[in-house]
Structure 1
Amino acid sequence: MPPEDLTVALRGDTLLLLPEQVLLPDGPQANHAVVVAEGRFAAVGPAAEVRAAYPHLTPLALPDTLLMPGFIDAHHHLTQAFGKALAFGEPSEIFRRIWVPLESSLDGELVALASRLAALESLRGGFTTVVDAGTRAEAHTDAVAEAARIAGLRCVLAQICNDGPDGALPAEPILRRAEAHLARWQGDPLIHPSLAISIPEVASDAMLHRVSSLAGEAGAVFQTHVNEHLVAVERSLVARGQRPIEHLREAGALGPQALLAHATLVTPRELAILRDTGAAVAYNPVATQWKGNAAAPAELFSAMGIRFGIGTDATRADAFRLLDAAEAVQRVAFGLPAGDFSVGAGWLWVDHATGAGAEAVGLGAVTGRIAPGLAADFLLLDLAVPEMLPSWDLTWELVRFAGRDQIAAVFVDGRLRVWRGWPVDWDARALMREVAARVRAAVAAAPIVRVHPRAQEHRRRSLGADRPGEGTPE
């Protein structure tokens, strides 16, 4: 079928798809069919059985194609899209010098632009769901939601509820906003409300407990950043005599509703706390590579029964490179010292970037797997590329060989959203032109402080210092 006819066919309300393979929870399966109807998977099973059950539907053959779940980005900051390349080479806690100044300076229009740009990148990279940790432009949370909806991206969207370590800000207005946020998005097909405290030290214990409880009562997730950098752990020890995860437990903020971003610096005691409370973790391997102090022991999380998803932390929106990083970080940090050549054997990272990731972020009953009743959030992946030939172990090949350029189609909630990298129902290039026209002024207006020079300046300084007799250039 010509590509233009295929895209028309894929935009039908009800689809009977016959891909070469389907990635099911227990691995890839050939000779299977998938029916999509009313935004959900209506049937998944052996092709002959499904075709017999739906004789009125015209099968759409998809040779050389893998139908697989869309990826879950377990930790993102959609409003950071304008500054993502400003963080390169920066030391830890760049939120103090880059993200807080940038996000706090954005008005509603700029928040919407940045969020749509990030949503576009996510969809192009194979993510059908992102978990946004909340914007510091607090008055504009609705703009983030609207941007995700326009793009067609599923979003777990947090409302930040910081009241200061001593409860300096009045609690009642914060809690009213939190309750309104939870109520506003209940039942929305794409936006799933969440509550957040940026880091434990910026809220009172009472607020930590109340916000986490509110989220749990609403069936939503409570998000916070913990144990990411050594300095944050040390501040917690100095202020409270407790590490951040211990602090959260003491405040009554942990439980199955808790989603803790990073958790890279964890002790055996803290691992036991995570296991015993049922809290989940967002493992961010690219953030570890680029700006972290340590690697979260994700394979150990799995062995201990600690739920986790895999997140980008707004680094780069490329799901296959994220899979590669997830495995590589574990191999370098833990596999090499222990002589472990497998570190999850590929399947662990695919699972936690899809179905197990959806469970960790509170959407296990909504998305993450190709299964009847779940939202039809999926990718069509082109297998007819040299990198995937010959195929001996498709699951592991997705981790090590697959690339974003193989993504032919991205579906969210049963609708074709992206074809060959570009949205089918809105003008992404017009968005890019608008971003290009406004982004430099927006960033220039923010009081950003960078420590590390840009690459060319770093080159100039390095070469000048290293060449005999030249000294450091001015």
Structure 2
Amino acid sequence: MRVDGPLLLAPDLVLTPDGPMDHYAAVVSGSTFLAVGPAEQLERTYPHLTPVRLRGHILMPGFVDAHHHLTQTFGAALAFGEPSEIFRRLWVPLEGALDEEGVYVAAKLAALESLRGGFTTVAEAGTRAPVDVELVAAAARDAGIRCVLGLVCNDTDSDADTTTILAHAEKHLVRYCTEELIHPSLAVSVPEAATARTLRDTARLAESAGAVVQIHVNEHLAAVERSLVEHGLRPLEYLHEVGALGPQLLAAHATLLTPHELTLLAGSGAAVSYNPVASAWKGNAVAPATTMAERGIRFGLGTDGTRGDAFRLTEAAEFAQRLAYGLATGDSSCGAGWTWLEHASRGGADAVGLGARTGRIAEGAAADFLLVDVSGPEMRLSWDLPWELVRRGNRDQITAVFVAGRLRLWRGWPLDWDGPALVRRAAELSRDVLSRAPVTRAHPTSTAARHAAAERSTAQ
């Protein structure tokens, strides 16, 4: 496909904010959509552009991963089979063992996986690696993915004083405020990791800068209980108490919510990252996302670094709601398919603070989009495209990934840098990092567990 200069893309269908539109087209100029509308009309309006016919394809928004940990990629499979709150035993030690090259390679590997899975934007919740976060920014920039880049502002477990941490936060917000692909954000690991002053002031700084503060909130029973013991309040209630609950908050997980906390979220304008795969793999509960949608609570979908596959994420979002809530109430729809596509794109962009920029196919929006092949046997006999994308869509169908108007991946691999070489280097580095990182697992590998089960069976 020719990608230089303005493009008039004419697929079979365009997935717009109003739904799927047959015989639509889009004009991409620079980093944005210049026009979106009926193909015949755009061909008359832009006669100097030769239409690029994309038979058997749809043009749809790139997905937004509203919660990621880009520098945890080297140890992703270590989390399998582990109980909750693994960050203390796995992620903190692993990130602490990363050097500068390790941070860059791990983050770029995660970005590549995300792009391959259809994500054009990721929200990085803040690395604990002892390096400049510019390395994470450079990895995302070089990979070609849009990144909401969190800077960790914890001060209850830091050697730096609160004033210094807040000064660093201000500099971070200014440092990336004019970049095309990197968007600054602040982060606090969990409410207890920061003083009341830092929680309040990071909220103020982010709100002034039009950025978000990413905080893991009400994810695990242990965290809720610690907050009750220390403050007499649940984590979300505590954020409200100290003045940190507002439109600038991106609350990661928010799985264990009382009716009162749902009311606080709805009234505050705060956003949530609904992470269904993380709930299934290591959580204590599933966020009540269908209730959030009904209450008008802003939310996006996040992977939590589990796997960078957007179609499987949307399926998990619907599937988790069906199992956790729909079966008990006889709700066989649980969002009717379109809910999860919308919150994985436009709703996710809004949740991470980029709602005015990306997440939709519309005139003036950033040209962050996918070309998806729907000519195969899974989807050619289409009756309800949104439902089919959620339940039958697959990343193997993604022909092209564009971010800011540039072709970043073609059939799963970048064209302007060596993806396979990065994967090989990551495999080498990961072995070295994990040999040095003092990680602790509660369970053996699956192979070791199988052998142990066989031995028990033999002994009986």
TM-score class, shorter: over 0.9
Cα distance in 2 for residues equivalent to 1:206 and 1:138: 24
Aligned-pair distance for 1:323?
0.7
2:54 aligned with 1:99, yes or no? no
Q: In structure 2, what residue type is equivalent to 1:266?
A: L
Instruction: Give the Cα–Cα distance (whole angstroms) in 2 for the partners of residues 113 and 33 of structure 1.
Output: 37
* TM-score in terms of structure 2 length: 0.99
**1:361: Cα distance to partner?**
1.1
Q: Name the CA distance, whole Å, in 2 between partners of 1:118 and 1:140.
A: 18
Q: What amino acid is aligned across from residue 453 of structure 1 in structure 2?
A: P
Residue 173 (structure 1) aligns with: 164
Q: Are 1:74 and 2:70 an aligned pair?
A: no
Q: What is the aligned partner in structure 2 of residue 64 from structure 1?
A: 56
AA of the residue aligned to 1:455: S
| Cα distance between partner residues in 1 of 2:254 and 2:316 | 17
> Which residue in 2 is equivalent to 1:217?
208
TM-score between both structures, scaled by the size of structure 1: 0.96
Q: 1:186 aligns with which of 177, 183, 201?
A: 177
The amino acid that maps onto 1:135 is T
* 2:239 aligned with 1:260: no
1:356-367 to 2 correspondence within 5 Å?
A: 356-367=347-358
For 2:432, the equivalent position in structure 1 comes to 441
Confirm or deny that 1:202 pairs with 2:231: no
Deviation at 1:105, TM superposition (A): 1.4
Structure 1 residue runs of 5 or longer lacking an equivalent are 1-5
Distance apart, 1:169 and its partner CA: 4.2
Pairwise CA distance, 1:299: 0.5
Q: Which residue of the other structure, out of 129, 140, 150, is the alignment partner of 2:142?
A: 150
Runs of 4+ in 1 over 6 A off after TM superposition: none
Deviation at residue 463 of structure 1 after TM alignment: 2.2
Alpha-carbon deviation of 1:140? 2.7
- Residues 107 and 140 of structure 1 are in contact (CA less than 8 Å); yes or no, is this contact kept in structure 2? no
Question: Matched residue of 1:387: which SS?
Answer: coil
Give SS of 1:431's match: helix
Q: Which residue number corresponds to residue 18 of structure 1?
A: 10
Alpha-carbon distance in 2 for matches of 1:169, 1:12: 48
Match in the other structure for 1:337:
328
Q: Does 1:270 align with 2:261?
A: yes
User: 1:306 is matched with which residue?
Assistant: 297
1:230 pairs with 2:217: no
Question: Which of the residues 101, 105, 126 maps onto 1:134?
Answer: 126
| % identical aligned pairs | 59
Distance in 2 of aligned mates of 1:238 and 1:138: 31
Whole-angstrom CA distance in 2 between matches of 1:434 and 1:334: 43
Which of 372, 379, 383 does residue 392 from structure 1 map onto?
383
Please say if 1:49 is aligned against 2:41: yes
Q: Find the counterpart in structure 1 of residue 278 from structure 2.
A: 287
Code of the residue aligned with 2:79 in structure 1: it is A
How far apart in 2 are the matches of 1:335 and 1:433?
43
The Cα shift of 1:217 comes to 0.5
Q: Give the superposition deviation at 1:138.
A: 4.5
- Separation in 2 of the partners of 1:413 and 1:222? 24
Q: Distance in 2 between matches of 1:137 and 1:281?
A: 25
* Matched residue, 1:377: 368
What residue in structure 2 maps to residue 347 of structure 1? 338
Aligned residues: 460
Structure 1 residues 313-364: Cα deviation after superposition (integer angstroms, max 9, x where no partner): 0000000000110000000000000001000010000000001111111101
Paired residue type of 1:383: V
What is the aligned partner in structure 2 of residue 245 from structure 1? 236
- Unmatched 5+ residue regions in structure 2? none
Please give the alpha-carbon distance, in whole angstroms, between the structure 1 residues aligned to 2:160 and 2:432: 32
Letter in 1 for 2:129: A
Q: State the shift of 1:150 in Å.
A: 0.2
**Greater displacement, 130-139 / 227-236:** 130-139
1:115 aligns with 2:107: yes
CA distance in 2, matches of 1:171, 1:357: 31
* Rounded Cα–Cα distance in structure 1 between residues aligned with 2:60 and 2:130: 35
CA distance in 1, matches of 2:250, 2:301: 12
Q: What residue identity is the alignment partner of 1:35?
A: V
Do the aligned residues in 2 keep the contact of 1:72 with 1:130 (CA within 8 Å)? yes
Contact map agreement 1:154 1:190 (CA 8 A) in 2 = yes
Q: Specify the SS of the correspondent of 2:440.
A: coil
| SS of residue paired to 1:109 | helix
1:466, distance to aligned residue in structure 2 (A): 3.0
- Could you say what the CA RMSD is over the residues aligned between the two structures, in angstroms? 1.0
